[in-house]
Amino acid sequence: MPVRTADAEWRGDLRTGVGDMQFDAYTGAYSFGSRFEEAPGTNPESLLGAAHAGCFSMALSAMLADAGFPPTRVHTQARVTVDKVEGGFGITKIALVCDAEVPNIDDAKFQEIAAAAKVGCPVSKALAAVPEITLTAKLV
């Protein structure tokens, strides 16, 4: 398996500095404001959320297909919450919100497979230290 890489550079102090993050063809600017306030730009938590949403969507698609229910579409949004915690800041919650088009499956079976994908995708495993990871999954 290939090793994936990403780069980040920060210039200046925490409050007034700026940075860039890059992976593959994506480059995004980030700042204190884009991370801890509502300023434009990206932040590590959004990129982590994108990775989690992407990984979960692929894992769910694979598990559905393996169970005989190949999906037409799986869409997932990851909502990553950062809060002040003892010793600084921490990611305290990730809410995965998924809707999927899956022919010929009932909701109970879909929920069972979605729950397994939530704990089984590699990014979920890597994020096991996050105190709360929730999943809302629905068939559309």
Give the pLDDT confidence of 83-92 residue by residue, as tens digits.
Answer: 999 999 999 9
Residue-range definition of the domain harbouring residue 122? 49-139
Let me know whether 61 and 12 are in one domain.
Answer: no
Torsions phi, psi for 42 (to 5 deg): -110, -170
Average pLDDT over residues 35-54: 94
The answer to whether residues 22 and 62 belong to one domain is no
Asked whether the beta carbons of 56 and 120 are under 8 A apart, the reply is: no
Are 137 and 110 spatial neighbours (Cβ–Cβ below 8 Å)?
A: yes
Residue 75 tokens read as 């869409």
- 119 shares a domain with 58: yes
Q: In whole numbers, what is the pLDDT of the chain averaged over residues?
A: 96
Instruction: Answer yes or no: do 81 and 53 share one domain.
Output: yes
Output the pLDDT for position 1. Answer: 86
Whether the pTM exceeds 0.85: the reply is yes
| pLDDT score recorded for residue 132 | 97
> Nearest Cα to 100, choosing from 86, 117, 88?
117
- Closest among 85, 76, 22 to 52, alpha carbons compared: 76
Residues 17-33, mean pLDDT to the nearest whole number: 93
